[in-house]
A = this chain, B = another copy of it.
Amino acid sequence: MRKTISIADFVVGGDTFAVMAGPCAVETKEQLFASADAVAAAGAALLRGGAFKPRTSPKSFQGLGTAGLELLSLASQRTGLPVVTEVLDPRDVAAVAEHAAVLQIGARNMQNFPLLREVGRQRLPVLLKRGPAATVEELLYAAQYVTNEGNGNVILCERGIRSFDPSTRYVLDLAIVPVLRERTDLPIVVDPSHGTGRSSLVRPMVLAAAAAGADGVIVEVHADPSKALCDGAQALLPTDFAQMMVDLRRLLPMLGRRLSRPSAAGHATPAQGTISDEFIAP
């Protein structure tokens, strides 16, 4: 039996399909709430949003930090959606854990071993993104840095690898989903927003990820992508996200899955993840 991870009232893995959605970065309360309300209404299972943003240039918007975490908590209370948000610095893990239901390790930090160990000492589930040049083996070893510290609640995430074609930002490697399925029971989700870098490609790649056997997706949604402070080119409009969810709801039953849904609106306290099976090393 495959591992499932409980997040608040949701489950990732098994026969469910978890849609995590929200803005790339938390910018303002209004911007966050607009996106959060939209993704909640359309049936997302988790709210995503970055308070600490790893940016290529030191001059780019670096996120609101602690203030962003607090806004995420408010958005979570408002929508009932648990929050997945990134942590960059081992010294910030405890603070982020107070506001998050899932701790995200970004692609640039997939082999940031002190950070992996630190989230491994928490009880919250960890969303571990594949680095853009990481092999399957390296991704699984990175997961072991977390699980070896006692936290078996790792969700693996494909988010695109570096390649040569400028027509997409990265190449989304969907075959990694069945490859990982053969080697680990950890849930596997896909990020088509970063993995393609273009909003028009997100919907088909979400459906393809589901068909490939993924346990979920993480998708960027912004009420006004042209004004986004981060990665606007890959953000879906709320209406496009809603249409994507319609398509997904039609497709999932053919794949033996159903959307992971909240059991009740309004709860805010992130629950602790649980391990139902052992992590299997490659």
Give chain A's interface residues, CB within 8 Å of chain B.
54-59, 88-91, 108-109, 111-114, 131-133, 135-138, 141, 144-145, 148, 161-168, 171-179, 182, 192, 195-196, 200-201, 204-205, 207-213, 250-251, 254-255
Contacts and interface: CB of A to CB of B under 8 A. Distances in A.
12 contacts: A58-B144, A59-B144, A88-B113, A108-B112, A162-B162, A162-B164, A172-B173, A174-B205, A175-B205, A179-B201, A205-B212, A207-B212
Given A54-B113, A89-B90, 8 more contacts: A91-B91, A109-B112, A133-B162, A161-B163, A161-B165, A172-B175, A175-B196, A207-B255
Contacts of A176: 167-168
Nearest to A148: B58
A178 B201 contact: yes
A195 to B, nearest CB: 7
B182 A204 contact: no
Contacts of A57: 141, 144
A50 to B, nearest CB: 13
Contact of A171 (B111, B113, B163, B166): B163
B58 A135 contact: no
Given A172-B175, A208-B209, A212-B208, A133 B164 contact: yes
Instruction: Give the oligomeric copy count.
Output: 4
Contacts of A132: 133
Q: Which 8 A/B pairs are nearest by Cβ-Cβ distance?
A: A133-B133, A211-B211, A207-B211, A89-B114, A108-B111, A208-B212, A208-B208, A133-B162
Contacts of A111: 54, 56, 108-109
A204 B168 CA distance: 22
Contacts of A114: 88-89, 91
Nearest to A183: B167
Contacts of A210: 211
A168 B179 contact: yes
A258 to B, nearest CB: 14
Nearest to A250: B254
B251 A211 contact: yes
Contacts of A135: 164-167
A195 B207 contact: no
Contacts of A133: 131-133, 161-162, 164
A243 to B, nearest CB: 14
Nearest to A136: B167
B58 A141 contact: yes
A114 B86 CA distance: 13
A163 B165 contact: no
